[in-house]
Amino acid sequence: MTAVVRFAPSPTGFLHIGNARTALFNWFYARHHRGRFLLRIEDTDRARSTQAAIDAILDGLTWLGIDWDGEAIYQSTRLERHAEVAHALLARGRAYRCYCTPEELSAMREQAKAKGQPPRYDGRWRDRDPSEAPAGVAPVVRLKALLSGDTVIHDRVQGEVRVGNAQLDDMVLLRGDGTPTYMLAVVVDDHDMGITQVIRGSDHLTNTFRQVQLFNAMEWTAPAYAHLPLIHGADGAKMSKRHGAIGVDAYRELGFLPEALRNYLLRLGWGHGDDEIIATEQAIAWFDLDAVVRSAARFDMDKLTALNAHYLRIADDERLAGLIAERLGETLDEAARRRLIQGLAGLKQRARTLVDLADSARIYAAGAAVPIDAKASALLDPAARTMLLELEVHLASAPSWAAADLEAAVRGFAAARNLNLGEVAQPLRAAVTGRLVSPSIFDVMVVLGRDLTLARLGAIDP
């Protein structure tokens, strides 16, 4: 049987980190088994679903490198099919119309609360004659759930899980206005899409018992289930914004590469021995559900950042130059782009994010008038500025513009004035880069070239 899985987000907000991991695990599973990965947008909650959220989900998946097979399916286009199944259950005697008023339902909840019990519908219209229905009440359609025995799930991650059917009440399938509930729509769509394996967060486990009953009521084969562990913060507490519970788009803005986030999410609840750095192709070859753990995963921003630094170091320089140019907010001419590509080898060894890298790359993107920060400016006192203008003349006649030769020329210039190398090289760095920290100043000068380096020195007023 061909494996068919789905990612089914509700477009009521951004693509958060837990949903991104769920999508990724489904995607890896499908690609490993040479199956299909389908995308279903569960937009039946029309009041809360927004086009902006849909766009954020699609953009987030695309940025992460998660592609789906076929067109995305929008649940809101299938309302008639959902209602059709509910009416089929009515015809089979596996569902019934409930005419409870809002006041009656509120009273049931209060009674259950007073007894310390979870709020449950008491089944009062389960076998009642519809002729007794009160006037003016639009009925809902409820599933006639089993009253005895257990519903059992053989979960690929959690193992065998069971619940007594007496704990599951008769859930609503169609609301009074005829629209389907989430529980009905999910089951109908999973069946019609041929889903063979549902992989989702363990917070959906309670829903699964109810959904399995609905599959059985329709005499459909339920998919297999795998409920992933939740993600907690590094301190073990429930995930929150301070732990990194932000949208995938926010990680992009923070300067993370998609391959780094993809690798990190893969390791949240799944492992392959001691391997930490796992390329996508290798992950597809290795991934399966038997290596997913039951315990909650812990999200650690420091580990993600360290992993991102690794991927920055091995990333293609032309690609990085394009990403940096976007962040600099300016169009680079061809000369600046070439400088940037050439200089990245020295810059990306220290960077942890694209934000870091873009900031340090300004030394190559700027022209003759490089911005000078406060610390560098403080070093460029009148004596230093006068010295640099002399150095400019000295370097202008340098026969070679190689790093070793430039260092030798600056050492000779310093020795002739009874100065050590640092007393010349630091003001030189401040004038040429506009800051006190950079790769080797002689390597930077090689990348900038003779003309631009001398132009920056010449721009320093005595």
- Summarised one tens digit per residue, pLDDT across range 270-286 is 999 999 999 999 999 99
Confidence bin at 1 (pLDDT 50/70/90) = confident
Q: Which residue has the higher pLDDT, 117 or 439?
A: 439
Considering the domain architecture, whether residues 333 and 204 belong to the same structural domain is answered as no
Considering the domain architecture, whether residues 333 and 389 belong to the same structural domain is answered as no
pLDDT of residue 48: 84
| pLDDT per position as a tens digit, 393-405 | 999 999 999 999 9
Considering the domain architecture, whether residues 151 and 186 belong to the same structural domain is answered as yes
Considering the domain architecture, whether residues 102 and 213 belong to the same structural domain is answered as yes
Could you tell me which residues are beta bridge partners of residue 39?
7
CATH of the domain at 145: 3.40.50.620
Over range 205-233, report the average pLDDT: 95
pLDDT of residue 143: 97
Considering the domain architecture, whether residues 214 and 161 belong to the same structural domain is answered as yes
Considering the domain architecture, whether residues 125 and 183 belong to the same structural domain is answered as yes
The DSSP output letter for 287 is: -
From 195, 228, 261, give the residue that closes a domain: 228
Total of domains in the chain: 3
Residue 249, domain member (yes or no) = no
In this prediction the pTM is 0.91
Residue 98, domain member (yes or no) = yes
Q: What is the DSSP string of 134-182?
A: PTT-PPEEEE----SSEEEEEETTTEEEEEEGGGS---EEE-TTSPBPH
Q: Using the predicted structure, report yes or no on whether residue 234 has a pLDDT greater than 80.
A: no
Confidence bin at 450 (pLDDT 50/70/90) = very high
Q: Residue 459 and residue 462: Cα distance in Å, rounded?
A: 9
Length of the chain: 462
Q: Using the predicted structure, report yes or no on whether residue 68 has a pLDDT greater than 60.
A: yes
Over range 173-200, report the average pLDDT: 96
Over range 200-225, report the average pLDDT: 96
| pLDDT per position as a tens digit, 96-143 | 999 998 888 888 888 878 888 888 898 889 989 888 888 888 999 999
| pLDDT per position as a tens digit, 293-341 | 999 999 999 999 999 999 999 999 999 999 999 898 777 899 999 999 9
pLDDT of residue 123: 83
Considering the domain architecture, whether residues 361 and 378 belong to the same structural domain is answered as no
Q: Using the predicted structure, report yes or no on whether residue 187 has a pLDDT greater than 60.
A: yes
pLDDT of residue 72: 97
Look-up of token digits 């400088």: 339
From 177, 204, 228, give the residue that closes a domain: 228
Could you tell me which residues are beta bridge partners of residue 232?
238, 298
Q: Using the predicted structure, report yes or no on whether residue 49 has a pLDDT greater than 90.
A: no
pLDDT of residue 104: 86
Q: Using the predicted structure, report yes or no on whether residue 243 has a pLDDT greater than 60.
A: no
From 365, 383, 398, give the residue that closes a domain: 365
Identify residue 310 by its one-letter amino acid code: H
Considering the domain architecture, whether residues 324 and 419 belong to the same structural domain is answered as no
CATH of the domain at 408: 1.10.10.350
Considering the domain architecture, whether residues 111 and 152 belong to the same structural domain is answered as yes
Q: Using the predicted structure, report yes or no on whether residue 198 has a pLDDT greater than 70.
A: yes
Range of 431's domain? 374-458
pLDDT of residue 134: 86
Just list the catalytic residues: 241
Q: How far is CA 352 from CA 1, 254, 262, 348, in A?
A: 44, 10, 16, 8
Q: Using the predicted structure, report yes or no on whether residue 242 has a pLDDT greater than 60.
A: no
Residue 408, domain member (yes or no) = yes
Residue 94, domain member (yes or no) = yes
Helical (H) or strand (E) element with 328: helix 317-328
Considering the domain architecture, whether residues 118 and 205 belong to the same structural domain is answered as yes
71, 92, 9, 19: which is closest to 45 by C-alpha?
A: 9
Q: Using the predicted structure, report yes or no on whether residue 419 has a pLDDT greater than 90.
A: yes
Residue 148, domain member (yes or no) = yes
The average confidence (pLDDT) of the chain is 93
pLDDT of residue 135: 85
Considering the domain architecture, whether residues 433 and 408 belong to the same structural domain is answered as yes
pLDDT of residue 44: 84
Helical (H) or strand (E) element with 388: helix 382-396
Q: Using the predicted structure, report yes or no on whether residue 244 has a pLDDT greater than 60.
A: no
Residue 54, domain member (yes or no) = no
Considering the domain architecture, whether residues 357 and 419 belong to the same structural domain is answered as no
Q: How far is CA 73 from CA 3, 8, 21, 122, 222, in A?
A: 18, 9, 20, 36, 20
Residue 129, domain member (yes or no) = yes
Residue 309, domain member (yes or no) = no
Residue 48, helix vs strand vs coil: coil
